[in-house]
Amino acid sequence: MKIDFLLIGGGLAGTALGYRLIQAGKSIRILDQPQKNQSSRIAAGLYNPVTGRKMVKTWLADQLFPEIEPFYKEIEKKTGASFLRPETIYRPFISIEEQNEWMGNSSDEAFIPYIKQLVTESQSSHLHDPYGGVMLEKSGWLDIPTFLDAFKEQFSEYFSIENFTEEKLYFQDEMWHYGEWESPAVVFCNGVFAAQSSFFGFLPFAPVKGEILELKQEFCPQYIVNRGVFRVHLGNGIHRVGSTYTWHDLNIGPTERARNELLERLQGLINLPVEEVVSHKFGIRPATKDRKPFLGKHPSLSGVYIFNGFGAKGVSLVPYFSKMMEAYLLSSEPIMKEVDIARYFDYI
């Protein structure tokens, strides 16, 4: 069966790009590998305009953040499901100097759209925030498993549930063939598995293992607390807490070291005991060496593309870059140099 695009991978990246192409009237097939979507499904799903230990404005925030909520809300409307959770993020200050710096940021036009409120006193006796903090807006989190499941149910005719076997993909008569499907274009959206591919193994992926906990604890504010760890209230006194970032230990499975690290960081943020650890999960994120995603066309093969490498910030990156990738695939509009895989062609 002839189709316009064959997408490898039905995680966050493949789903978002697939949606763009479907809305553009293109015939597609997403080869979904549910058990291999672990990175998407255990991700925190936060979208946060101020990140890092130094609390800096997220890269490309002014371009990325106007796309986030409209994109996911549109898919909510299409699917009838609820998975977007716009929510304030509270980032405590760690010093009076940082408090003063943010007093200056509050009048900076670059930060104004993202600051809901600055507070100079502790917000709760349960928080370690003696210097107050900044309440951020245009922020929140995406319930990624619900998003993926709702999309797959609504657009089931575009999915094939199977493990992708690269050896079965071949090029003949100007078309890529895989099983019953033939297409002029194949897009690799399959996370870290693209790093093991004969097509894109040359790209400098830098996989990161991340672990998160879900636990019971009192104190359920109407905001996400994020400093050292994030703490998202899921309801019924259950919170998601994360995340670790490990480049050296990519072994499969959660670790006691990560569990202890998360609990220790949480103790430094929330002045309450943990009643119970409900779950402990892990995923291998498809991060890249320069922390920028991979978009573009293979340097020599006809019709082979990649849309990948979104790492821990996939929820905030994917809406904007899926639009860019769609424009490239359908209209040959240029890809931003910072994310175009052509930046690595000199090293092949």
What's the confidence (pLDDT) of residue 323? Answer: 98
What is the token pair recorded at 159?
């999915």
Q: Give the pLDDT confidence of 255-309 residue by residue, as tens digits.
A: 999 999 999 999 999 999 999 999 999 988 889 999 999 999 999 999 999 999 9
Is 5-43+145-203+291-347 assigned to CATH 3.50.50.60?
Answer: yes
> Rounded to a whole number, what is the distance in angstroms from the first to the last CA of the chain?
34
Distance, CA of 260 to CA of 255 (rounded, Å): 9
Residues in a beta bridge with 172: 175
Please check whether residue 128 is in contact with residue 75, taking contact to mean a CB–CB distance below 8 angstroms.
no
Count of beta carbons in the 10 Å neighbourhood of residue 116? 14
Cβ–Cβ < 8 Å for 253, 314: no
pLDDT of residue 169: 97
Q: Rounded mean pLDDT of the chain? A: 94
Q: How confident is the model at residue 40 (pLDDT cuts 50, 70, 90)?
A: confident
Where exactly are the structural domains of the chain?
5-43+145-203+291-347, 208-285
Q: What pTM was estimated for this model as a whole? A: 0.94
At 207-239, the pLDDT tens digits run 989 999 999 999 999 999 999 999 999 999 999
**For residues 61-79, average pLDDT:** 98
Q: Select 208-285's CATH number: 3.30.9.10, 3.30.70.141, 3.20.20.70, 2.160.10.10.
A: 3.30.9.10
